Structure 1
Amino acid sequence: MSRRIAGMVAVVVVLLVGVTTAVAATVVDDDDRWNGRGGGMTSSQMMMFGGMHGMRAASEDVYLAEMVAHHEEAVAAAQQLRRSPRAEMREFGESIVASQSAQIDQMRQWLADWYPDRTEQVAYRPMMRDLTGLSGDRLDRAFLQDMIRHHMAAVMMSQQLLVRGGAEHDEVEALAEDIRDEQHAEIFQMQQWLRDWFGVGWQHGMHGGPWMMR
């Protein structure tokens, strides 16, 4: 797929995510209100989500370093799903750990091969809650809500790299396309689980979380 076509498809993908999440249900209950408020994120705010966290694919090496840190947080969170009461969630967690761990290894190798003088460290801001103290439904629900937002950031960062033609190697362009497409599909699956199991949308309870801008 050419960069021009990839960029056009990426924009459509992100727009679809925005439309879908904007219409998701936002049921509010006392158990999960944060700071005494419920509510959600508008589609415009969602489209800006990646930039809010400083994740900008200004160049290929920045994309790789940022995505390594982003993936590491996802892997750590997904490992907590070993305690989930739902087989679907345990399997989903295993899939995230396997796929994103492999991508981390690949991106680190590219950074070492192509950008040996660049430090891998980035000023990454955590986007997910600490799940270690949660169990049962609370674990599954918090994971789904947080990981949807987490995936959105990766989708938008990947499409930004593709739209701007920032990938200097075909391998990185292909990886960005894979991350965008895989995580886009997973967003829809997680939204469905939230609706089916908890009757809420991903936005519910997001106010006050550690990932929000102060």
Structure 2
Amino acid sequence: MVPSALAGFGLGLSLIVAIGAQNLFVLRQGLRREHVLVVAAICAASDSVLIALGVSGVGLVLLAVPWIIDVVRWAGALFLAGYGILALRRALTPSGQVLDARADADAPADAAASAAHRAAAATKSRTRLVPVVLTCLALTWLNPHVYLDTVFLIGSVANTHGDARWIFAVGAMAASVLWFFGLALGARYLSRWLSTPRAWRILDGVIAVVMFAIAVSLVLPS
């Protein structure tokens, strides 16, 4: 059973650790320190559900109705293009966004009013939970690649392990949990390089390019 679990963990991690729309969103939320645990939980739970569906044989049903994947593909491309436009707009329009948590921590006692003012401004600009949840769900469930990786590939490989297929699936699920929570919670250690509006504009520019590239790849014939 242990070899099956390790095999599932290795395959799951190898498929998840890649620059993509979902990982960039998790990274950005981790850097902003907004709803970090919720975003990581949604991504990990979604992967777990999809892996379970693949192991249970739902992938065979999807193969019988391929138009479902086409619908997801086009919907995902449109959503990614829209998200890319928003990221490009942030990259081209200075917003003054910075990570000033370290500055607040190092502020002297007589600067309490200034720190409070910055905290109030940060709270005001904080993204509400519902839009973040909906965006995270869309980036996950409107991405046809996630079905290919989890439902079809992991599901197919898991079923080669016979009675240990669910142990294999648990290993793959564990990889997803480890990666998303590690990425979301570890992103804060990159804050030293993202302490200026210019750095955030560069990050949003990279996000825009990746989103557009993935959107185009979804609609172009393979």
* TM-score (ref. length: structure 1): 0.30
Computing the radius of gyration from Cα coordinates, the structure with the larger value is: 2
Structure (1/2) with the larger helix percentage:
2
The normalised TM-score by structure 2 is 0.29
